[in-house]
Structure 1
Amino acid sequence: MPQAARRTAASPSAAGAGGDARPVEPLSGTWPHALSHEPMLRVSDVLQLVQPQFPTLTPSKLRFLDSHGLVTPERTASGYRQYSPADVERLRFVLRQQRDHYRPLTVIREQLDALDSGRLHEPVTLTEIGEAPDDYLTATAVAERGGVTPEVLGALEEAGIVARTVPDGFEPAVLPTVVAAGAYLDAGGDVRGLRTLVLAARREADRAQAAAAPLRRKGGGEAEAAAGDFGEAAIAAFSAVVRHQVGG
């Protein structure tokens, strides 16, 4: 992607009598300029960092964005992609524009060009630059971060609502489920009723996956993204119906 530099300009306050005008320092590289551009993250590291916020992100979607010049990682001598912390933040920006604003790739590319040149400004959302999240969380950590007691977490595990990935470890992705389960129980529900709701939600998720299968068979990152968007839309529709019935 061609890099645009900020034009130098003379400032009246910078040029005194007989003094030289001070040029505005040009931007170099790609946005976000303040983050490290050192390639240090594998594809698996990027997925681990970004999937909690964007669960439908896949390796094929990363390849698709790379092929369209939106997020372009470095290549090792063996041809493997390696991403920098700046690449990860750039990826988050692209995914937010697609998910939250439904912007096409051409518009997102124009935005990135403007960010690269300094004509557009966007706050950096990365909170732990260059630091991968915990691979696994202990039961104590999950209970603390999820706002439930160890006993409640044990009940959720016994009911099959959450499950350990390793003998004493949960994936961080279980936290939203634990938080939602705690809110349900605090509102007066019980674990048995929650299990019924979870099973129903899983059935609907499976149906959404099956309905999206024809989109995936088309191949390519665009098809994968479309299938993921379809699945999310189906689950959102299911949730909206549930809220309407409960509210009604």
Structure 2
Amino acid sequence: MGAQAVRAFMSIGEVLALLQGEFPDVTISKIRFLEGEGLIEPQRSPSGYRKFTHNDVERLRYILTAQRDHYLPLRVIKDHLEEQATRPRDVSSEVPAVRLSREELLEAAGIDDETLAEMESFGLVVPVARRYDADALDVARNVAELARFGLHPRHLRAVKAVVEREAGLVEQAVAPLLRRRAPGAIDQAGETGREISGLLQKLHSALLRGSVRGVLGR
């Protein structure tokens, strides 16, 4: 029983060993920093050593995943964790769908309100119920990066138009599946849509590379 009680807790080194396979950049200093920012609260032994539970590890995994996959600021991640704390279950390693307020999106994308308003005016970013999802965050970040090269939202309307036409092709392909009443038809339509989207992205990239080579005379 004593051995089981000991294994209920892990040292910071053991936690690091558990996480480094999935997050190679994580360090002991990083874990301590997250503790200092109030995102994790490991217990302490009488001698002052940190004692991490499995829930602490899952919380860390959640934080690191949100940073790596969604580039969310720590303040936003902390808000999400506090929201989850009100739910009747432990923090999961699965990061829920991103739902950012306008202020959170501005901070996460590193843009100002005027830039976001311009993106919205050209339909590049569209809030749903006054919230922004992960795709909106990706779009905002990429549009902001393109601005460094003199390409602003008004220049990107053509890109938006191309995407809408490609979405029309996906819709055309999956429409027969969506009309079927057979079990699993909706799942099959989703899988087909994702596969076609991936192929269209590859085609788009290949055509763009060829066109750019032509522009550069290569």
TM-score category by the smaller chain? 0.3 to 0.5
Question: TM-score, normalized by length of structure 1?
Answer: 0.43
By percentage of residues, which structure has more helix?
2
Q: Larger relative CO (CA 8 A, sep 6+): 1 or 2?
A: 1
Question: TM-score, normalized by length of structure 2?
Answer: 0.48
